[in-house]
Structure 1
Amino acid sequence: MKLRALAAGAATLITAPVLTGIGVTAAHADNPDAEQYRPQYHFSVPDHWKNDPIRPVYLDGEYNYYYLYDVDYNGVSTQTAWRHATTTDQIVYHDEGIAIPEDTTFGSPMAGSIVVDTDNTAGFGAGALVALVSVDEGPTNATDQWVYYSTDGGDTFVPYSTTTPAIANPGPGLHEFRDPKIEWDEANDQWVALVAEPLSGIGFYASSDLKNWTFESFFPAPSGITFTECPDFFQMRADDGTLQWVVGASTGGDMHTFAYWPGEWDGSTFTPDTTVPKWLDYGDDFYAAVTYPDEASADRSTRFLKGWVNYWSHPNTASSWTVDGFTGTDAITRELRLKATGDTYRLVSNPVAALDDYATRTWELGDIAVDGERDLGYHGTSYRLDTTVSWADLDNVAIKLRRSPDGTRDFTVGKFDDFIYVDANDPTMYRESHAPFDPQATTVQLSILVDTTTVEVFVNGGEQALTMKSNLDPTDTGLQLFTQGGAATFGDVTITEFANVNGQAEGGTVFQDFDSGYDGWTTTGSAFGSAPATGTLPAQQPVTGWRGTGLVNSYLGGDASTGTVTSPTFTVSSPYVSFLVGGGDHPTPSEVFADFEGNDWGPGWTATGSFAGRGPTASSLTNQAGAKVADTFVNGGDAATGTITSPEFTITRDYLTFRIAGGDFPWPAVGNASVRLVIDGQVYFSATGDGTPTLRDVAWDVHSLRGKTAHLEIVDESTSTAFGHIMVDQVMWGNTPDAVVGEADTPTAVNLKVGGATVRTVTGTDAERLHWESWDVADFIGQTAQIEVVDQSTAGWGHVNVDEITFSDRPLG
């Protein structure tokens, strides 16, 4: 069934009160030199190609992650090397270069696994890293398993032998024999290796020294599975307190994803509870997955999982390669738990908890009732959406992610009949994946990770997952809720954005790192002291995410202290100013952009049609701010038409708010009456009336559009006699959606000042972890500016933290 065809006949748009508009987060779409498809919070290869993950190992306080990498990739991968990265939290990775290079003489390293040989069983030294690697030895692809080892902490590996494999291909005629996984079998005091024979099953081998292996048994591929590769083998503690063995593998056939079998291991033979596979992920793009120990889990009740977001039926269909020169992304690292279910066990997976440490913004939209379609006004390419959906009786309920401006493309997650589905409207191919679901159920909890090139869906607390890659255009940013054949409530809708942890986090010229004092910066008040802080201050929660030996921290004396620290003047010479910021979320006061209280539309405003030469109208509408409003009833009543256009402005705040009433004639329909935010000729936001004379509040989140030049249009093309006009009042800039005149001037903010005016401003997020913020300042290049860090708040979170102010050609983060 093609659900897209079913959805095409959906009900017309359901009119509803305007949700707070939330802005575009497309990755650097305004910067042609930036990577358009680089994921924001998923691991991706720095360049060229990656495929299989290698099981990470923990050494000296960090996880060492290796993966297959092809520097010669040019649309097709041939030979691979092992590339190395390190992480402490499974989110931020540091590239460490090539650990096992391509070797055209001996053979190209393929997949394998690594262990830390703490007890020196192999004789390479206590704590050496020992790898068992499949090596492609030539055109016949007759792979053997070879031992490599490292004594420099995993930076480089050398082969133990180039003449005698540790596990020889059992042939003859066995075309593929590969992907070894090693696990320590404590009960039997031995190493165990699983090696895939993809067309038939998995072999088990045992060793005491990691160099000499003996065949023990064979686990045949069950019915319905045409091949198995990338096997896995591990023991973990279930929620009933028992330790259980699990075999896993990436498979082909009925499903091509990670299959697993709980069962019993006697030191020689694995006996599954049932030969019927269980599936960890039902998506089209979760492959070559590996599990590895969570070093913080002493009782082995949790384990990590890492998978490649791709599959071999469409490995080279990646816009990131054609546009940005790389292809290869991992799914978010997952935390696994094993749950007892009847007479067997089931794995539950959820995103690793450390992801929440990188949250930068959260919107809690509450419960949203939908009967048909409902656009949320959110635009983004990288975020998490959480909701619990409930219904009484309907045919189809869905969330349309990454919706294109014209509505023809999106990435849909939904429930239909007896399955959860993910519909990847991929420009290169049509793909849809299903996970089984109780047809009698009337509720489902969804947690959806959306990133530039991936979508991951976690169902009912991780009981099921679906992962698929995306090639949608970076301008496809919309979000719509949808039902067909009935109504649903999307409960507790929450959208969370995360810091950009990938790629473009380095570079540029550091303007001030605060490691050697304030260096010409001037201070007022007592909050900032005479020198930068060297970390967390007394009574403060732990401050993290800063660099070097010093940072701005206005918690000196607690939240009660106030003051400023201001840079020397400088000439803006780079298109971006980037810095680390944390602390309180106390923005500078909101400001009125247009109050429509004068005799004309306002300084710099222009008008056409019936509105040319006219001005605001005296009125007394409900929720009106002053004596007048902009009313398109002027000079002709409902028959009046034309446009009222603001002067161009640079977006410097997070929210643009206003009040609107009158006719319900939304853009882009012919005969619309609407307010529009226009950038480079494109309408980014629009709003219309609700068919009443009561002014209601509208808030557009434009935080990711900061730095762009825009203008407002009040458009009336309607000649309807049923409220064929709109009224607009009190247009304001602010950092919250509920901007009002007369807010307290108590900011904790970082400001960019040009000509004495604040042209960019940002606050913390009520968190002590510093995160990257970047200002697009290309429009100020050549002008003189200053950076001001201000703390005028004495309330809770009444302080600000800043570090590493950098001038760069790209956004950092």
Structure 2
Amino acid sequence: MLATFALIGLLTASPAATAEDSTRPDVVIADFEGDDYGGWKADGHAFGDRPARGTLPGQMEVSGYLGRGLVNSFNGGDDATGTLTSPPFRIDRPYVNFLIGGGGFDGETCLNLSVDGRTVRTATGKNREGGGTEALRWDGWDVKDLAGKEATFQVVDCRKGGWGHINVDQIVLADASRKPAEAVRAIVLNHRYLHLPVHTGGPKTRMKFTIDGQTVREFDIELAEGKPDFWVFSDLKSYEGRTLKIHAGELADPKALDAITPSDEVPDAAGMYKEKHRPQFHFTSRRGWLNDPNGLVFDLGAAQGQGFDRGVIHLFYQHNPYGWNWGNMHWGHATTLDLVHWSEFPIAIYPHAYGDWAFSGSAVADVDNTGGFQKRGTPAPPLVAAYTSTGRGECIVFSSDRGQTWTEYKGNPVVKHNGRDPRLLWHAASKQWVMAVYDEGEKRQSIDFHTSPDLKTWTFASRLDGFFECPDLFELPVDGDPNKTLWVIYAADAKYKLGRFDGKTFHVESGPDKHTLWHGNFYAAQTFSEAPNSRRIQIGWGQGITFPGMPFNQQMALPVDLTLRTTPDGVRMFAAPVAELQSLRDAKHDFSNTTLEPGKNPLSGLSGDLFEVKLAAKPGAAEEIELNLRGTPVIYDVRRQDLVCKQIRTFLPLVDGELRLHVFLDKGSIEVFGGDGRVAVSVGVIPDDANHALGVASRGGAASLRTLEVYPLRSAWIKP
């Protein structure tokens, strides 16, 4: 039963006393309003030679500082480093207050208070991940125990890369703290979900859910303290009937917790998947951020035939359920019966603890129960997943209920190293499990191979240099010949090599250079384990395809079948959209076997948002052939044999003298498969609400259209 939340109320709802409540004025140590740093000493380049006047070049907008100046170590960007040290002063108030923002890295982007040459207090900004905000917020320390001591402040920036900077302003000694008090609200859990309001770009708050003093959820959220941009949710079904405490630190108004709402449905359940810019046949998460596909596996638990009736198909993915930007990495979960229509399920893998996030990995069906994870009395083989626990290492979890719940292996982590993203596979020839996992060292990035008889005990076997994160490894027949196979290996950028793999070592046979199939917004792709009929089905993340103003962000690319084919340049990998997508087609508009004359547009009568287009044309005298999809041109440069779409220009040779394109247009993206799939392009497009037109054009001369078929597509979110 999923009944009602009883609202017990706000246990701590008022901020701490402010400096204005004191009878003595604050002692201002530094307000950074001058034309230089005065007696403060700057070393390195990060702080420049004077206080910043707000936002620096290349930086998100900085807010929350007082007056015109502040310390901002983004001088020269995130890779600049340095320190800024104050003259000595005497501590003669019980509190130190200051405004701080920027990077949240202990010892690397911080403000330190030192006494007798020893750091006695330290504070950082709040940002460690993509997104975030440059807003400064009040922080501070109780320094009663240091009364009368001589001290110094030092602002430190020794961090390079994302959020490798610190912002500080208005350092004062005071009789009262300005640090916001923690707000706490208690609720009896009688509904399944808590709805949480989000303001994208607002200050991040660390939120914690506790039951009987034990933390059951902890995450960062841009909690709306006014009108929200959208609502996210937390599924608390397993804690029904118990009292939950919601803890939130550093809220300007602790009453913001009052807006958190109990419900038996997810937010706007009736309107979900119908949002204005929701992709209609690319997978997107119902709420929050999505990135790498994880744990793609066919579940053999319902094995009865040779097709999709063998069981459900699982897609797990990197997911921030609490915001529009990257962060709070969980494993989201969805399933399909046909690779087209998806159903979302509760979070599959929660982080082990705050800061120990559930990063990418993979899943397999342990058909022979080599790990001993199969529960007695369950006929289905267990699903086993490996993922990177960022605080521990590579970890194993298993499921005996078809992926609905997961249990941690007690011996975790099974591999500890400087890397992430384990890819599991069964190597039949050597009768052992293989883990291909990203590893890095000084000036080295590689895929490491470990082997195991049981998914528990792993032995390092070999290393292949030159690949960065999210590896995949599989065998494919060449030209469909099962007696002639090659192994494919690639990492996050999808650039691949071909060779032989003996279960321990990958022997490259395709030369020193990597080959490229995918271009554009495509990253961290993975193929499905246990796919029937020897299919090798791949899904990638459409990295950078954003949906501003929506309650979700990012999408998956279309599922494709991968094959190896012999070309004049050697064996290459091809990608073809899975045939199951044809189930979305409406009536065909056929313009085949015609001449495409300059200035003519056979598609002028068509308009809409969702289309599949198939084109095969002999260029003839044409210099360019163009498809125009709601204002976005897809151009073929005949002389150079280049395919051009937005920022992408790539070589696409004619096939038997023909240009062959297979194109999919969705609300936020275009995917183009050229040359029967030798080239694949994924690009994001900003929806133009005023332009729904399609066009095809020839420039410089006429082209001959052997095939021009246009299919309006139905939404995949409408179940057949």
Partner residue in 2 for 1:459: 674
Partner residue in 2 for 1:49: 289
**How far apart, CA to CA, are the structure 1 residues paired with 2:694 and 2:343?**
33
Partner residue in 2 for 1:446: 661
Partner residue in 1 for 2:313: 63
Q: Which amino acid in 1 is paired with 2:498?
A: P
**How far apart, CA to CA, are the structure 2 residues paired with 1:124 and 1:384?**
44
Q: Does the CA-based 8 Å contact 2:352-2:389 persist in structure 1?
A: no
Structure 2 SS opposite 1:83: strand
Q: CA distance change for structure 1 residues 218 and 33 in 2, over 3 Å: closer, same or farther?
A: closer
Q: Does the CA-based 8 Å contact 1:201-1:220 persist in structure 2?
A: yes
Q: CA distance change for structure 1 residues 380 and 248 in 2, over 3 Å: closer, same or farther?
A: farther
Q: Which amino acid in 2 is paired with 1:211?
A: K
Structure 1 SS opposite 2:504: coil
1:139-164 Cα distance to aligned partner (Å, 9 max, x none): xxxx6211112222211212213x74
1:298-347 Cα distance to aligned partner (Å, 9 max, x none): xx2x311111111xxxx3x62x2x22211121111111222244795322
User: How many residues get paired?
Assistant: 429
Q: CA distance change for structure 1 residues 45 and 187 in 2, over 3 Å: closer, same or farther?
A: same
Partner residue in 1 for 2:695: 480
1:560-709 alignment to 2 at 5 Å?
none
Q: Which amino acid in 1 is paired with 2:539?
A: K
Q: CA distance change for structure 1 residues 329 and 289 in 2, over 3 Å: closer, same or farther?
A: same
Which segments of 5 or more consecutive residues in structure 2 lack a partner in the other structure? Answer: 1-270, 303-310, 376-380
1:275-674 alignment to 2 at 5 Å?
275-279=511-515, 281-293=517-529, 295-297=531-533, 300=534, 302-310=535-543, 315=544, 318=546, 320=547, 322-341=548-567, 345-366=571-592, 367-372=594-599, 374=601, 376-403=604-631, 410-424=632-646, 432-438=647-653, 442-502=657-717, 505=718, 545=720
Q: How big is the shift at 1:64? A: 1.4
Q: Does the CA-based 8 Å contact 1:280-1:465 persist in structure 2?
A: no
Structure 1 SS opposite 2:437: strand
Partner residue in 1 for 2:370: 121
**How far apart, CA to CA, are the structure 2 residues paired with 1:273 and 1:373?**
48
Structure 1 SS opposite 2:586: strand
Q: Which amino acid in 2 is paired with 1:422?
A: V
Which residue, out of 315, 328, 339, partners 1:90?
Answer: 339
**How far apart, CA to CA, are the structure 2 residues paired with 1:327 and 1:102?**
20
Q: CA distance change for structure 1 residues 266 and 411 in 2, over 3 Å: closer, same or farther?
A: same
Partner residue in 1 for 2:496: 260
Q: CA distance change for structure 1 residues 347 and 293 in 2, over 3 Å: closer, same or farther?
A: farther
Quote the sequence identity (%). Answer: 26
Which residue, out of 483, 508, 511, partners 1:242?
Answer: 483
Partner residue in 2 for 1:165: 413
**How far apart, CA to CA, are the structure 1 residues paired with 2:525 and 2:273?**
33
Structure 2 SS opposite 1:39: coil
Q: How big is the shift at 1:280? A: 5.2
1:341-376 Cα distance to aligned partner (Å, 9 max, x none): 479532221111111122122111232412146362
Q: How big is the shift at 1:135? A: 1.4
- Normalising by structure 2, we get a TM-score of 0.56
1:712-738 Cα distance to aligned partner (Å, 9 max, x none): xxxxxxxxxxxxxxxxxxxxxxxxxxx
**How far apart, CA to CA, are the structure 2 residues paired with 1:95 and 1:341?**
40
**How far apart, CA to CA, are the structure 1 residues paired with 2:597 and 2:344?**
45
Whether 2:432 is the aligned partner of 1:217: answer no
Q: How big is the shift at 1:49? A: 0.8
Moved more, 274-283 or 392-401: 274-283
Q: Which amino acid in 2 is paired with 1:418?
A: R
**How far apart, CA to CA, are the structure 2 residues paired with 1:345 and 1:389?**
25
Q: How big is the shift at 1:417? A: 3.3
Q: Which amino acid in 1 is paired with 2:714?
A: A
**How far apart, CA to CA, are the structure 1 residues paired with 2:568 and 2:445?**
30
**How far apart, CA to CA, are the structure 1 residues paired with 2:452 and 2:657?**
52
**How far apart, CA to CA, are the structure 1 residues paired with 2:319 and 2:353?**
15
Q: How big is the shift at 1:116? A: 1.1
Structure 1 SS opposite 2:429: helix
Q: CA distance change for structure 1 residues 395 and 341 in 2, over 3 Å: closer, same or farther?
A: closer
Q: CA distance change for structure 1 residues 458 and 105 in 2, over 3 Å: closer, same or farther?
A: closer
1:591-641 Cα distance to aligned partner (Å, 9 max, x none): xxxxxxxxxxxxxxxxxxxxxxxxxxxxxxxxxxxxxxxxxxxxxxxxxxx
Q: Which amino acid in 2 is paired with 1:66?
A: F
Partner residue in 1 for 2:506: 270
Q: Which amino acid in 2 is paired with 1:260?
A: Y
Structure 2 SS opposite 1:482: strand
Whether 2:448 is the aligned partner of 1:203: answer yes
Partner residue in 2 for 1:35: 275
Q: Does the CA-based 8 Å contact 2:277-2:687 persist in structure 1?
A: no
Partner residue in 2 for 1:527: none
Q: Does the CA-based 8 Å contact 1:48-1:72 persist in structure 2?
A: yes
**How far apart, CA to CA, are the structure 2 residues paired with 1:231 and 1:356?**
30
Structure 1 SS opposite 2:580: helix
1:189-242 Cα distance to aligned partner (Å, 9 max, x none): 100110112651211110111011111111111xxxxx5221111123332332
**How far apart, CA to CA, are the structure 1 residues paired with 2:676 and 2:347?**
37
- Normalising by structure 1, we get a TM-score of 0.50
Structure 2 SS opposite 1:200: strand
**How far apart, CA to CA, are the structure 2 residues paired with 1:437 and 1:378?**
27
Which residue, out of 379, 382, 395, partners 1:146?
Answer: 395
1:99-135 Cα distance to aligned partner (Å, 9 max, x none): 1013335711010011111211112117121111111
Cα RMSD for the two superposed structures: 2.6
Q: Which amino acid in 2 is paired with 1:219?
A: L
Q: Does the CA-based 8 Å contact 1:281-1:467 persist in structure 2?
A: no
Q: Does the CA-based 8 Å contact 2:673-2:680 persist in structure 1?
A: yes
**How far apart, CA to CA, are the structure 1 residues paired with 2:654 and 2:579?**
31
Q: Does the CA-based 8 Å contact 1:413-1:423 persist in structure 2?
A: yes
1:45-73 Cα distance to aligned partner (Å, 9 max, x none): 11111000014212231111111110122
Q: Which amino acid in 2 is paired with 1:485?
A: G
1:556-597 Cα distance to aligned partner (Å, 9 max, x none): xxxxxxxxxxxxxxxxxxxxxxxxxxxxxxxxxxxxxxxxxx
1:512-532 Cα distance to aligned partner (Å, 9 max, x none): xxxxxxxxxxxxxxxxxxxxx
Q: Does the CA-based 8 Å contact 1:100-1:158 persist in structure 2?
A: no
**How far apart, CA to CA, are the structure 2 residues paired with 1:340 and 1:156?**
43
Q: Does the CA-based 8 Å contact 2:351-2:389 persist in structure 1?
A: no
Q: Does the CA-based 8 Å contact 1:192-1:206 persist in structure 2?
A: yes
Q: Does the CA-based 8 Å contact 1:233-1:245 persist in structure 2?
A: no
Q: Does the CA-based 8 Å contact 2:652-2:675 persist in structure 1?
A: no
> RCO greater where, 1 or 2, for CA within 8 Å and sep 6 or more?
1
Q: How big is the shift at 1:279? A: 4.1
**How far apart, CA to CA, are the structure 2 residues paired with 1:293 and 1:132?**
13
Structure 1 SS opposite 2:497: strand
Partner residue in 2 for 1:715: none
Q: Does the CA-based 8 Å contact 1:373-1:480 persist in structure 2?
A: no
**How far apart, CA to CA, are the structure 2 residues paired with 1:32 and 1:231?**
33
